[in-house]
A and B are shown apart, each in its own frame.
Chain A
Amino acid sequence: MNCTRIETWLPLYASSDLPALQLAQVRAHLAQCESCAASAEEFVAAHEWLRHVAAPQFDEAFYADLRYAVRQELASQPVRSMWLRLLWLKPCAVAAAVLLLAIFSLRLFQTKGVPRSDIVKTLTSPQQPDAARAPMPLTNQLAQTQKAVMTPRRIVRQRVRAVPQAETAPAEIVASAEPAPAPNTAEPEMLRIEMQTADPNIRIIWLTPKTTNASVDVSAGSLTR
């Protein structure tokens, strides 16, 4: 072990801060190297000098003055310190308040996300009289918006229920070849075809002008024109 390496370890050797292996290497080197041994002694002496310099003694008046100053400072800001303590003691409450505010804002944004013009368009069809297009109160609009959303499904179901429910076979052509009643004799005679889907509540009704070359193969379940 050379002296340069040992010298880097000597400052920590003075206070036994070296790991056991390095400590043993330093001791072995110092036993045979006078120069390093002298340097090690100086490190130990400096370390001992540092440790044995007595701490300063301050009198009781010094400490009393210190305590008084601290008490005065604390007394001058009681409210601030109380608020700070409350804030630090209740981080969960603050976090919960922020979370509630965020949820409330999100819900408010979602409610306002439906444009009012769309609501009015949905609720007032072109066939309605002008009186029906007049703006209505927001609560009524919201209530009817829900109805409007539900309307297509309800209409389909109501129409389907109006048809006799005798047929239940899936995707089955249940009626054909009977002319649909024509409200106006000037119009061509219409062919009415009804198809029952797998859903017993859904029936497809097809009206088409009756032509001579149209034929329906009911038994095969297919339609050819």
Chain B
Amino acid sequence: MAGRGLELALMPNYFSDEAEADIDLHAALIRRAQAGERAAFDQLMEMHQQRVVTLAWRLLGTREDARDAAQEAFLRVFRHLHKYDARYEFNGWLYRIVVNVCRDMLRQRGRHGGLSLDEAAVAQLASDDDSEADALAAQERAWLQCALAELSEKERAAIVLRDLEGLPTEEVARLLGSSATTVRSQISAARQKLKAFRARHLKSRK
């Protein structure tokens, strides 16, 4: 039980609303997957697929890129699962892999931090949804991607993890392999740009 206490003490509180039984189930799944059980790994994928795809979409901007990044991230999880230390939060470890995969993809495709979304794509995304509410939500998401596209790669990763994923600044710094001071600076610069983008966006609507 002492080990269990240590494990819980080291975990950042991502799942404050989850029952302890779910945490036990999750830990057991990881142990089975580490032992090479493919069915357990499939279950892990199902549990985390939405989180992984959403983060990849926020960092890369398109559905196809998000799918490719999620696929590569899960492959890396499988290959390196034996190195995962169960005393630490699995989600933090997973986030780090997804962030690294997205960085690699951006560099390989020569985008240098820029997203591929433009205003025409925004209009297309908005028109793909059936209902008016869905269309508005899709348009907002598209504008969000346009706003994120104005940020540098590091600024975007910092603001996505801090504001959209809701992680503490210190945890964001750990995931990005940077200092908390640097991350605060990146977040500050990102918010300046987002504020300016939103002001332009609101002005163009009127």
Contacting residue for A11 out of B46, B78, B188, B198, CB 8 A:
B188
The answer to whether A15 and B163 have CB atoms under 8 Å apart is yes
Closest to A54 in B: B137
Which one of A81-89, A118-126, A172-180, A217-225 is at the interface?
Answer: A81-89
The answer to whether A63 and B188 have CB atoms under 8 Å apart is no
CB-CB contacts of B33-71 with A at 8 A, as 1s and 0s? Answer: 000001000100110011001100110000100010011
Which one of A29-37, A68-76, A107-115, A181-189 is at the interface?
Answer: A68-76
The answer to whether B71 and A70 have CB atoms under 8 Å apart is yes
The answer to whether A45 and B198 have CB atoms under 8 Å apart is yes
Residues of A within 8 A of B82 (CB): 85, 88-89
CB distance from A12 to the nearest CB of B (A): 6
Closest to B83 in A: A88
CB-CB contacts of B61-94 with A at 8 A, as 1s and 0s? Answer: 0010001001100110011001100000000000
The answer to whether A67 and B45 have CB atoms under 8 Å apart is yes
CB distance from B159 to the nearest CB of A (A): 7
CB-CB contacts of B149-165 with A at 8 A, as 1s and 0s? Answer: 00000000001001110
B144 interfacial by beta-carbon distance below 8 Å: yes
The answer to whether B195 and A53 have CB atoms under 8 Å apart is no
Residues of B within 8 A of A47 (CB): 163, 191
Interface of B is mostly: helix
The answer to whether A46 and B194 have CB atoms under 8 Å apart is yes
B184 interfacial by beta-carbon distance below 8 Å: yes
The answer to whether A53 and B67 have CB atoms under 8 Å apart is no
The answer to whether B54 and A56 have CB atoms under 8 Å apart is yes
Residues of A within 8 A of B184 (CB): 12, 17
Residues of A within 8 A of B53 (CB): 58, 62-63, 66
Q: Which residues of A contact B (CB under 8 A)?
A: 8, 11-12, 14-15, 17, 42-43, 45-47, 49-51, 53-56, 58, 62-63, 65-67, 69-71, 73-74, 81, 84-85, 88-89
Contacting residue for A53 out of B49, B78, B141, CB 8 A:
B141
Band of interface residues on B: 35 or more
CB distance from A10 to the nearest CB of B (A): 8
Residues of A within 8 A of B46 (CB): 63, 67
Which of B8-30 touch A at CB < 8 Å? Answer: none
Answer whether A73 and B199 are a contact pair too, CB < 8 Å, given A50-B144, A67-B46.
no
CB distance from B57 to the nearest CB of A (A): 6
Apart from A51-B164, A67-B42, 6 more pairs, CB < 8 Å: A11-B195, A12-B188, A66-B45, A69-B71, A71-B42, A74-B75
Closest to B168 in A: A17
| Cα distance A54–B58 in the bound complex, in angstroms | 11
The answer to whether B71 and A56 have CB atoms under 8 Å apart is no
Residues of B within 8 A of A73 (CB): 71, 75
CB distance from B167 to the nearest CB of A (A): 12
CB distance from B63 to the nearest CB of A (A): 7
Contacting residue for B45 out of A58, A65, A70, A84, CB 8 A:
A70
The answer to whether B162 and A15 have CB atoms under 8 Å apart is yes
Which of B124-152 touch A at CB < 8 Å? Answer: 137, 140-141, 143-144, 147
| Cα distance A17–B158 in the bound complex, in angstroms | 13
Give the residue among B58, B191, B198, B199 with the most A Cβ atoms within 10 A. Answer: B191
CB distance from B165 to the nearest CB of A (A): 10
Residues of A within 8 A of B147 (CB): 50
| Cα distance A43–B62 in the bound complex, in angstroms | 27
14 A-B pairs (CB sep. < 8 Å): A11-B187, A12-B187, A42-B198, A45-B198, A50-B163, A54-B137, A55-B141, A55-B164, A58-B50, A66-B70, A70-B75, A73-B71, A74-B78, A84-B79
Answer whether A70 and B192 are a contact pair too, CB < 8 Å, given A17-B169, A54-B141, A56-B141.
no
The answer to whether B194 and A66 have CB atoms under 8 Å apart is no
The answer to whether B71 and A46 have CB atoms under 8 Å apart is no
Answer whether A51 and B74 are a contact pair too, CB < 8 Å, given A46-B191, A71-B42.
no
